[in-house]
Amino acid sequence: MSVLDRFRLDGRTALVTAGAGPLFGRSISEALADAGATVITASRSLERTEQYAESLRARGLDVHGMQVDVCDVDSIDRLFEAAIRQFGAIDVLVNNAVARTGHIGCLVDQTPDHLRSAAEGDFLGLFRLCQRFVESRTSSRCGSIINIASIYGVVANDPALYAGTDMVQPPSYNFVKGGMINFTRYLASYYGSCGIRANCISPGGYRDDQPPKFVDEYQRRVPLGRMLSHEDIQGAVVFLASDASSYVTGINLLLDGGWTCR
């Protein structure tokens, strides 16, 4: 097997939550499918995720849409049961979904209801997804969990970046992403003996129609001088999903253009 062959995912099935979403889901799903995996894109909107899956199948990729609400444990259980019944196993789990409804406003504006909403998906949902995956993989002695966290799970926000804009970074986002990173270390430590690897990717800021002032200030702070593109995350995901990273577990890969090195 050549070095490049170790990046191939032929014969493996990957589940990507929010796999048809415009944030990172589409890029992640496409990259895994391009590497040869059978990909399940799971989102709240079954219609949207099936449409995206169909667009990739038209290119000859093996992609399938399924429905899941990561804030609903019963929905997660139904997804796993249906996926395993249809595909036999899930080899790679990418936890990409975020409970966006809970992440609004600054500290003084957030209510207990906002925090509960965030926790349902980003704590309870994440926990159940990983639990079901581990349960299904321990006898196989292999498997890869990839959690999409954020640099804001590692460092605090710079309020100066948001000056002169109406942008607000809610503190609950830092709270759940920091927890995700350490939960990933727990999974890696506890289930490594079962052959299951668990890693995080923490992206920096991505270009998404932010105010020009914010973009300029952000890019000025990044050593590579630009914001994250959707292509940037693809190689990282394929690496952590594949045998190319067979001795890598428990890491938090900072995909930030050098933001956190300063």
Three-state helix/strand/coil letters over 187-223:
HHHHHHHHCCEEEEEEECCECCCCCHHHHHHHHHHCC
Per residue in 4-26, pLDDT (tens digit) is 999 999 999 999 999 998 889 99
Long-range contacts of 167-173 (CB under 8 A, 24+ apart): 167/210, 167/211, 167/214, 168/104, 168/105, 168/106, 170/103, 170/104, 170/105, 170/106, 170/110, 170/114, 171/106, 171/107, 171/110, 172/102, 172/103, 172/110, 172/114, 172/115, 172/118, 173/103, 173/118
Could you read off the pLDDT of 141-158 as tens digits, one per residue?
899 999 999 999 999 988
Q: Is the pLDDT of residue 61 over 80?
A: yes
- Write down the pTM of the prediction: 0.95
Listed range (52-66, 105-119, 169-183, 201-215) with the worst mean pLDDT: 105-119
User: Is 70 exceeded by the pLDDT of residue 100?
Assistant: no
Cα–Cα distance, 145 to 188 (Å, whole number): 9
Domains along the sequence of the chain with CATH: 4-157+168-205+231-252 (3.40.50.720)
- Tens-digit pLDDT profile for residues 205-236: 998 888 999 999 999 999 999 999 989 999 99
Q: DSSP code of 123? A: I
